[in-house]
Structure 1
Amino acid sequence: MTLASAYNLPPSTTSAGPSLPAPERTKTRLLELIKRHGPQTAQDLAYKLEVSVPAARRHLCDLQEGGLIESRTERPGGRGRPQHVFALTDQGEASFPKTYSGLCVDVLRHVQHLFGQGAVMQVFDARSAEIAARLQTELSPASPLPVRVQIFVRVLCEMGFDAVLEQEGDTWLVSKRNCPNLTVARQFQELCASELTMYQTLLGVPMTRETRIACGQSTCLYRIGP
């Protein structure tokens, strides 16, 4: 999520440009001030924005209801009287631009350069093994396959893949309509290969992948069954 999408604003709002309505500009500036200077009191924020304290509190209340900031009590410098300050939540922090995917690609390229092609696959397999260990309880082999497949699709959705399930005779079709790891998947096919192996291990049945978003197709389509 970006600062713009937090309030369904156009991308230009992140720079608080003149095209924005004043309330949205103020909210964006409040988030930026808290990001730059850390937890702030309403009085400090009002002073920096050159608005009244009640006006600042109204905008802070909106941001708090939107889950972007939280109110807490702190002692300045660890001493003095406690005061109420506003700080970014994880959701608010995520609204600022991040370069995690680019960093991940750079790190994997260095791993490949230093330790060889196989090292990248080892990294992805270790990640897959860790994920599989967390999911083995939910995807118990003792459960019927239809139950395991439905749980599997739910887990994929929780991981950001926007998965849907269809049945075609004795075969299950799982479509992932989003790839949260697309930047990495386009650079390293090992990621998709490792995930496929993990899915087969978790479900305990044959599975084939027929399409890939990383190859320009609209979904990653998996066929599960005999």
Structure 2
Amino acid sequence: MPAIRRHLTDLQDQGLVEARTERPSGRGRPQHVYALTERGEGAFPKTYSGLCVDVLRQVAALFGEDAVTQVLAARTAEQAQTLGAELPESLPLHLRAEVLARHLSEQGYDAVVDRVVEDGQETLYLVERNCPHLAVARQFPGLCAAELTLYEELLGTAVTRETRISCGQGCCRYRLG
């Protein structure tokens, strides 16, 4: 028992588990109940992308590739509706791009906006240095196409993808405007 307590204390010190004391419903002493923290939960492998790929593969097998496209389009429309309020057309493009990059970073894309000036002409780029959906994007390129559509809609300008992580490049780079 002491070894178990010592191990649980070590896990608590690392922020992997948290303890609380609960009274039993009947008689008896209060008991210590341990649960994983968010950090502890993150230490376990997640196979969400595998599940997503499997589901999309089944949708395609049962209903055809057009059904997958429709599912991705519906997801894009929902995202556009949710984010649209945060990106009003009254904001200049570079500010809308910054808000979008912040939102994407919160979702794991590690996105930034690069401003490049050549010959006195400024060009904006949205750069995603990580793809949180890489396994899905490699098997279903429609996901990347749907994101491109979303960015055009949210930013209200033409968006051209120049590089793509799912094709083996180091980042997804979009030229805005």
| Match of residue 167 from structure 1 | 115
Paired AA for residue 151 in structure 2: Y
Name the SS for the 1:160 alignment partner.
coil
Q: For residues 43-54 of structure 1, what are the structure 2 equivalents within 5 Å?
A: 47=1, 51=3, 53=5
Query: Is the 8 Å Cα contact of residues 12 and 18 (structure 2) preserved in structure 1?
Result: no
Structure 1 residue 214 corresponds to structure 2 residue 171? no
For 2:82 and 2:133, the matched residues in 1 are separated by 19
Q: Which runs of 4+ in 1 moved over 6 A?
A: none
TM superposition score normalised by structure 1: 0.70
With over 3 angstroms needed to count, the CA separation of the structure-2 counterparts of 1:127 and 1:75, relative to structure 1, is farther
Name the SS for the 1:118 alignment partner.
helix
Identity %: 55
Compare the two structures and name the one with the higher strand fraction: 2
Question: Looking at both structures, which has the greater relative contact order when contacts are Cα pairs under 8 Å and sequence separation is at least 6?
Answer: 2
Q: Gapped runs of 5+ residues in structure 2? A: none
1:88 to 14, 36, 52: 36
Paired AA for residue 71 in structure 1: A
Paired AA for residue 18 in structure 2: E
2:49 to 80, 87, 101: 101
With over 3 angstroms needed to count, the CA separation of the structure-2 counterparts of 1:125 and 1:91, relative to structure 1, is farther
For 1:72 and 1:140, the matched residues in 2 are separated by 45
Q: Let me know the Cα RMSD of the aligned residues.
A: 1.8
Name the SS for the 2:160 alignment partner.
strand
| Match of residue 10 from structure 2 | 59
| Match of residue 28 from structure 1 | none
With over 3 angstroms needed to count, the CA separation of the structure-2 counterparts of 1:184 and 1:57, relative to structure 1, is closer
For 1:165 and 1:145, the matched residues in 2 are separated by 11
Compare the two structures and name the one with the higher helix fraction: 1
Name the SS for the 1:51 alignment partner.
helix
